[in-house]
Amino acid sequence: MTSSTPADEAPICSARGCRAPAVWALRWNNPRLHDADRRKTWLACPDHRESLGDFLGARGFLREVAPLPGSPNLEG
């Protein structure tokens, strides 16, 4: 999980060991660590959107899931 991504590189899934292009942004907040209006972002490929979302959701951290702008893989 790096915090800086070169603008000319496709965003990559945040799941450990995954190098697939990300198509989802999972925005989350840990109330113990972050201000209430702060959002951390994990990126997820289609295969990991559910597992990453479940991980955050089980801890009550998940705030929203949004499609990544400009992704060529999304329908509609």
| Site of interaction with Zn ion (CB under 5 A) | 13, 15, 18, 20, 45, 48
- CA nearest 56: which of 68, 43, 45, 47? 43
| Closer residue to Zn ion (CB): 34 or 44 | 44
Nearest distance from C-beta of residue 24 to Zn ion, angstroms: 10
Distance from C-alpha of 54 to C-alpha of 18, rounded to nearest angstrom: 17
CB of 53 to Zn ion, least distance (A): 12
Nearer to Zn ion, 33 or 51 (CB): 51
The arrangement of strands across the sheet holding 24-28 comes to: 40-44, 24-28, 62-67
Identity of the residue, 13 or 26, whose beta carbon is nearer to Zn ion in the bound complex: 13
